[in-house]
């Protein structure tokens, strides 16, 4: 197996998650190429240098253009703010690199379409960071539904809430603008929910929606006044899937007390599956079989029987975490690059997720049902 060189753009929360995952994946799985942590990029030179040393990269830089064209870089991982994804991804594709981009793909649907078209034209291998779809518990839920464990899926109910924008005194930032963030709660959180719903229920056919900006302005960081918040704090949609099933998708970045409440339910004709992200190693399964007096939800605790949990730990109940799920995502991408099966979601796979969140925004603006 060849050694693959990684160029990572961004040193924040997701940058660190990528760095740790690319370091861990070959050790956890054993069937992957070695990863050379080649170049780390941050706009601050001191940060680039210090974080390169901390993460184990050979060098740090402030020039992302140099990173994407560096001969020692085979994979470009993009964890920068949303508005930069487009230019960075296109440049990396043009330079012949594989691209691992965090969600959302970009700030507009048109840009996301251009990214997807460029990747296809150059036959570039891509991955989008919808890591919740990599969770062994989620994959098991998919299998249960495919095998008919709950009959025909007829309804999906999902919500994703956090409170990182709940405080009205939180200073204004780039996250509040269309130009730098694109959508608000939909781009940050709602797209994750859409990725899960799509993988469990299939494509969305049409929807109606509403959004709101709870805190219309926020104080400027320098104390000189207030600036307008341009994108949504909450969004709610009633969707119809192509299968005929219905569902609801709700998201908020201003829900006090919610840290990562990414929960969903799939209702079927013979039962139900429910899940809570804050208990990411568990599924709740209800099957309408046997005497009513013995029916009830049962907890399925993930373990070695739920691939690839066993690569991390030989015993159930010991729990995987957020970083482990990101490692699973990275491992699938490395395996594909090395000649294995195609991993997902690629830019092509993720484009429908982008289409749904932008359709929710469009439906909220127009007040009309939007067909995808």
Q: Contact at 8 Å (CB) between 135 and 143? A: no
Q: What is the pLDDT along the chain (372 residues), one digit of tens a residue?
A: 589 999 999 999 999 999 999 999 999 999 999 999 999 999 999 999 999 999 999 999 999 999 999 999 999 999 999 999 999 999 999 999 999 999 999 999 999 999 999 999 999 999 999 999 999 999 999 999 999 999 999 999 999 999 999 999 999 999 999 999 999 999 999 999 999 999 999 999 999 999 999 999 999 999 999 999 999 999 999 999 999 999 999 999 999 999 999 999 999 999 999 999 999 999 999 999 999 999 999 999 999 999 999 999 999 999 999 999 999 999 999 999 999 999 999 999 999 999 999 999 999 999 999 999
Distance separating alpha carbons of residues 84 and 111, to the nearest angstrom: 11
Whether the Cβ atoms of residue 79 and residue 10 lie closer than 8 Å to each other: yes
What gap in Å lies between CA 17 and CA 13, rounded to an integer? 6
CATH number for the domain running over 4-124: 3.40.50.720
Same fold, 4-124 and 132-371: no
Give residues with Cβ within 8 angstroms of 47, minimum separation 6: 11
Angle (CA) 122 126 130, round 5°: 155
| Tokens 């092509």, located at residue | 348
Sign of the dihedral through C-alpha 167, 171, 175, 177: positive
Sequential DSSP letters for 63-91: -HHHHHH-TT-SEEEE-S-GGGHHHHHHH
Domain 132-371 has CATH 3.30.360.10: yes
Q: Where do the domains of the chain lie? A: 4-124, 132-371
Which residues touch 216 (CB under 8 Å, ≥6 apart)?
A: 228, 229
Sign, CA dihedral 251-163-135-119, equals: positive
Residues near 146 by Cβ (< 8 Å), separated by ≥ 6? none
Among 353, 362, 372, 371, which Cα is nearest to 190's? 353
- Give the pLDDT score at 284: 98
| Parallel/antiparallel/unpaired status of strands 234-241 and 246-252 | antiparallel
């Amino acid at each position: 197996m060849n050694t693959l060189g990684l160029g990572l753009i961004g040193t924040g929360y997701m940058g660190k998650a990528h760095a740790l995952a690319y370091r861990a994946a070959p050790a956890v799985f054993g069937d992957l190429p070695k990863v050379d942590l080649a170049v780390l990029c941050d706009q601050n030179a001191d940060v680039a240098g210090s974080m390169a040393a901390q993460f184990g990269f050979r060098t740090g830089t402030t020039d992302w253009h140099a990173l994407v064209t560096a001969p020692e870089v085979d994979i470009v991982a993009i964890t920068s703010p949303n508005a930069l994804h487009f230019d960075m991804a296109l440049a990396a594709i043009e330079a012949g690199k594989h691209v691992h981009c965090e969600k959302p793909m970009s700030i507009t649907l048109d840009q996301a379409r251009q990214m997807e078209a460029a990747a296809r034209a150059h036959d570039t291998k891509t991955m989008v960071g919808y890591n919740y779809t990599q969770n062994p518990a989620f994959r098991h839920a998919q299998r249960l539904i495919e095998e008919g464990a709950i009959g025909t899926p007829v309804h999906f109910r999902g919500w994703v809430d956090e409170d990182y924008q709940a405080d009205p005194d939180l200073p204004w930032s780039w996250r509040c603008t269309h130009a730098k963030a694109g959508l608000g709660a939909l781009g940050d959180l709602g797209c994750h929910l859409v990725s899960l719903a799509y993988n469990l229920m299939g494509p969305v056919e049409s929807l109606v929606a509403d959004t709101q900006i709870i805190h219309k302005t926020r104080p400027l960081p320098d104390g000189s006044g207030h600036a307008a918040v341009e994108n949504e704090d909450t969004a709610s949609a009633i969707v119809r899937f192509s299968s005929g099933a219905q569902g609801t998708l709700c998201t908020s970045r201003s829900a006090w007390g919610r840290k990562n409440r990414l929960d969903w339910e799939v209702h079927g004709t013979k039962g139900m599956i429910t899940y809570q992200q804050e208990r990411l190693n568990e599924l709740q399964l209800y099957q309408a079989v046997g005497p009513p007096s013995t029916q009830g939800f049962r907890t399925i605790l993930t373990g070695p029987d739920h691939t690839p949990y066993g690569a991390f730990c030989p015993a159930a109940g010991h729990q995987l975490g957020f970083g482990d799920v990101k490692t699973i995502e990275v491992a699938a991408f490395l395996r594909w690059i090395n000649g294995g099966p195609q991993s997902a979601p690629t830019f092509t796979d993720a484009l429908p997720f982008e289409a749904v969140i932008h359709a929710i925004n469009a439906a909220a603006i127009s007040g009309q049902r939007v067909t995808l």
